[in-house]
A and B are shown apart, each in its own frame.
Chain A
Amino acid sequence: MRCNYACGAHESLTRRSFMGGTTAGALSMLGFSGMTQVQAAKKLASQQKQVVVFWLSGGVSQLETWDPKPGTETGGPFQAIPTSVPGVHISELLPHAAQQMHHLALVRGINTKENDHGKGAYIMQTGRKKQPGFAYPYLGSTFSSHLAPPDSPLPGYISVGAGGSSAESTFLGPRHAPLVLSNGKAPNNLEMHQSLTADRDAKRRSLRSKISQRFEQKRKTAHTEVYNESFDQAAALMGRRDIFDFSKFSDKDVERYGKHDFGRHCLMARQLIEKGVTFVKVGHTNYDTHSENFNFHIEQLGEFDKPFAAFISDLYDRGLLDHTLIICMCEFGRTPRINQRIGRDHWGTAWSVALGGTGIKGGAVSGKTNETGTKVIDREVNGGHLFHTYYQAVGLDSTEEFYPNGQPIAKADPKTEPLKEILA
């Protein structure tokens, strides 16, 4: 009697990531009209900041990762191990991540009160509960809009093996919608057609745009804007196709990250961050373990742990961790109660995420669950607190507002505040 199949959102996400180049990437416009000078100045100050999200689709178990409860009725078979930070223990399924603990902080007191894949994913990526009639932008789009340099030819938000839709950017506009690289490949047709020159291509595109503008004068433009801007963005992308050359990873790196999709996707993310892309989302899937929770976690985390740790360590070695925020999260955790199929089910009541890098106090731990992990007993937080924290970590004021259509919309839920205890 479990949502073993029809849990829509998760299903579609998985389907997406199986697909070839068919969904590669929604795109968009340049420029930041409507921004005040003060905002623009702040933007400049924080421009160098970047963000990477590791999205563990399906909902990884907090008990098999960041908040183990060994030896209790809910703990399962795995032990907790010490980490590079004295006193902080995590699951033995993450031995490599444990060695990077001094770069990471844990939030163990999350209660999002949401057990649905789609809605959980929405809360974690927008910092709000879904409300009818208003669509908040996803954090990839949000940080693309705040942090990407206005004149950058690079897409502000790239999703690698993690799906994504052009609807994510909502009122922030198509410029900040994700470019989806679903099969670990650069988009096709990036090379200009042989019959063209750069000059001729620019001229025909400007003609295209002029013709379109005439048509749009007395018509509804919500969709036509998206279409027009996507031509600009495609042209900018062609100019920077070097960022998509994923053919030059060293054998040693491939060995260190693992010869599987996730390892490769992490290497791609490393390159994209090095090349200056503002926000990268990397997906790893199959954590919806309603049955065989422990076997699945051995397998999945066995794949996840090494490249995740290598990624953090590489960013540190290259001096990138100073200005890159790392967030490892998913839609919810998993039930402490182990079900009849040795599975754990959906659980938004008491679970964890890990943060690291810029603005984050390495080794800090916020929040506490009870002995069996069924309840948060100290510092209970939700998606709103996390959003404030992300903002503050990259040096932005989370108490400001967006003004879509002139209406003030708080950037992060005003009923919540940042987790100061994990901010550097």
Chain B
Amino acid sequence: MFRSNMRVYVLLLVIFSLHVLSARPVSADQSKFSGEPLIANKPKQPAAKALHQIIDEQIQSRQKVDSQSASPLSSDSEFLRRIYLDLTGRIPSIHQTRDFLNDSRPDKRTILVDQLLASPEYARYISQQLDVMLMERLKKKFINVTTWEEYLRQSVAENKPLDHIIQEIFAADGSDKETQAAARFYLARNGDVNELTRDISRIFLGADLTCAQCHDHPEVQDWKQDHYYGISAFLIRSFVFTDKKKKQTVFAEKAEGEVKFESVFEVRDKTSKGPETTLPVVFNGTAIPEPAFKKGEEYEVKPAKEVRPIPKYSRRAQLGIAITSPQNPRFARTMANRLWDMIMGRGLVHPLDADHSDNPPSHPQLMDVLTEQMIAHQFDLKWYLRELVLSEAYQRSSTNDLFKSKAARELDDSYFTHAIMKPLTPEQFAWAVLEATGQAEIHRKGLKQKLTEASLRNKLVSYERQFVSLFGGLPGKPVEGFEATADQILYLSNNQAILGIISARSGNTADRMLKIPIEQSETMADELYLSVLNRHPDQIETKEVASLLAGKTGKDRSAMVVDLIWALAMSSEFRFNH
């Protein structure tokens, strides 16, 4: 897998300019066994600490000041389940579970991390998470969703720098077949200037400027109406254009059009000078000056009926450059924080789109370091995620003795002194159920030589879709935090899709359990717990399984096995990534 990744990488050499390459991994294979970071040491700071070490220093220093008691390091089973879920979107198979638990190499965690980062499932799952971040589960509009998903998957597989992905997305207008998919960001939002302004600010700048559309933000001192319209100004000239001949819808642009704004609070103020305007500008950066053209010479292609105009100067072309520019640290900071939230279960800046001076990060210095390093490592997604998961903060247990007492139930997550329990994403939940029940394994065997990540996914994607529709929230409003709704629980309890895959079929978990001789109840309990919860059962659990199955034969026995699998897969231990 590393080899195929390198091949893609060589391809990248050709495509991208040299500066992208300067900080690329020298040799993935070398680092695979050394436990060293994948990234080559930067020449300027040869003795620089790895980011994961800095993370732990920062987390520990705040913890010490407030004398929080940190949770112990996670057990191998805890770590195994967590790292699989976070990097590949599923739990490990029973074989993978056994292999890892039996592995005695001291650096087996790092080895596993590198294996998973190189797997095709990593590219799939992380691209899905990026998709949710960028598109918030919006429905199809103009652009084919599968092509978009494939574009993101490919980008993550190549480990394309995150800022490049975002630049491509902002540069795409949907007219060029090669880059058409990336135009989904604009077009699924119907090119609406307000919707785009709101989403761009929230997603890439960590600022929910919704309230600053009509007036300066009433509660956030830092956020002004100028910020809202600074972003709007990039987009105010753009519009959705459908070329009837080509049967193609694109995001077109005119050469004229300015934003106008005034506060609704002051609209009756007689001293008001009337609406203001602004050039495109990202937050407190420099407004982007524009070339002047003689009247009548503003266009390459002049606007006419049924003709897509092309201006000589495109404001929108400046957007991706301005957002991802080093002059705009909000971008790197927001990306670093969003990815941190994805892996750690909570942002350093929290909520993710409330990054302002009245809501400082839980660890301000760490936030700065993450931002700087994100820029220094040229938005290397894989490197960044790797550093996060190698940290002790990530690898802590979700248990803490303090949780035993009722008063400490709300032990503050923002210290990152225990692993935060993350509800499984809909994708994780679907694939975890498919793995736990053995449904995935049946298809792996069935595919034989044709088995690839894509072919397996093809067979099982309908389950994923079902989970996304039930657990994913609404288009444009993906679920945040944890919710349990009637629809979900009734589906898990009564739907044929779930109960069908649990019941015994050749090669699945129930079938494997039923093939174990009745008298070997310990082996059965082990098989069950390793398959579903990726850990060995303790004594109580082994006894419980034995007593539930004792004396049961035939149909009664199969029914009990099915109910055991269901009960484990529906338990809170399964529902959360802990």
Contact = CB atoms under 8 A, between A and B. Distances in A.
Interface string B272-286: 000100000000000
Nearest to B563: A204
A234 B489 contact: yes
B491 interface: yes
Nearest to B568: A211
Residue from the set B192, B482, B570 with the largest chain A CB neighbour count within 10 Å: B570
A76 to B, nearest CB: 20
Given A23-B485, A188-B491, A193-B493, A211 B563 contact: no
B490 A238 contact: yes
A244 B194 CA distance: 40
Interface in B247-268: 260-262, 264, 267
Q: Is the interface of A mostly helix, strand, loop or mixed?
A: helix
A219 B261 CA distance: 50
Interface string B549-578: 000000000010001101110111101101
A285 B490 CA distance: 29
11 contacts: A3-B264, A22-B473, A23-B474, A116-B211, A174-B484, A190-B490, A193-B499, A195-B503, A200-B563, A212-B571, A219-B398
Contact of B410 (A191, A192, A222): A222
B213 A3 contact: yes
Contacts of B214: 1-3
A228 B572 contact: yes
B262 to A, nearest CB: 6
B490 A188 contact: yes
Contacts of A166: 483-485
Interface string A3-40: 10111100010011001011111110000000000000
A228 B488 CA distance: 12
Interface stretch (B9-17, B168-176, B385-393, B400-408): B400-408
Interface of A: 1-3, 5-8, 12, 15-16, 19, 21-27, 116, 165-167, 174, 179-180, 187-193, 195-196, 200-201, 203-205, 207-208, 210-212, 214-224, 226-231, 233-235, 237-238, 345
A1 B265 CA distance: 11
A6 B261 CA distance: 15
Residue from the set A15, A188, A190 with the largest chain B CB neighbour count within 10 Å: A188
Contact of B275 (A1, A195, A228): A1
Interface string B474-490: 11110001111111111
Contacts of A116: 211, 218
Contacts of A234: 486, 489-490, 493
A329 to B, nearest CB: 23
A285 to B, nearest CB: 15
Given A22-B474, A189-B494, A218 B400 contact: yes
B563 A203 contact: yes
Contact of A211 (B398, B469, B496, B571): B571
B261 to A, nearest CB: 7
Interface in B226-261: 260-261
Contact of B564 (A193, A207, A226, A230): A207
A216 B194 CA distance: 44
Contact of A230 (B413, B489, B495): B489
Interface string B363-378: 0000000000000000
Contact of B198 (A6, A25, A167, A223): A6
Nearest to B195: A5
A84 B208 CA distance: 49
B476 A15 contact: yes
4 A-B pairs closest in CB distance? A25-B486, A189-B490, A230-B484, A215-B573
B403 A220 contact: yes
Contacts of B576: 223-224
Contact of A6 (B194, B399, B401, B469): B194
Contacts of B105: none
B470 interface: yes
B272 to A, nearest CB: 11
Interface of B: 192, 194-195, 198, 210-211, 213-214, 218, 260-262, 264, 267, 275, 398-401, 403-404, 409-411, 413, 418, 420-421, 423, 469-470, 473-477, 481-491, 493-496, 499, 503, 540-541, 544, 548, 559, 563-564, 566-568, 570-573, 575-576, 578
Contacts of A203: 563
Contacts of B488: 230
Contact of A24 (B264, B398, B410, B487): B487
Contacts of B411: 220
A213 to B, nearest CB: 9
Contacts of B493: 189, 193, 201, 231, 234-235
A207 B564 CA distance: 8
A25 B421 CA distance: 23
Contacts of B490: 187-190, 234, 237-238
A211 B573 contact: yes
A234 B401 CA distance: 32
Nearest to B260: A1
A237 B214 CA distance: 44
Given A208-B566, A215-B573, A1 B261 contact: yes
B571 A208 contact: yes
B482 A226 contact: yes
Nearest to B573: A215
A351 B496 CA distance: 52
Contact of A165 (B420, B483, B503, B540): B483
B570 to A, nearest CB: 5
Contacts of A230: 484-486, 488-489
A207 B563 contact: yes
A187 B487 contact: yes
B44 to A, nearest CB: 42
Contact of B487 (A16, A22, A216, A224): A22
Contact of B421 (A193, A204, A208, A219): A219
A188 B487 contact: yes
A192 B495 CA distance: 9
A54 B198 CA distance: 31
Nearest to A132: B219
A26 B409 contact: no
A227 B474 contact: no
Given A3-B213, A6-B210, A166-B484, A231 B573 contact: no
Given A1-B267, A192-B494, A220-B411, A237 B485 contact: no
Given A22-B487, A26-B484, A16 B474 contact: yes
A5 B486 contact: no
Contact of B486 (A27, A192, A222): A27
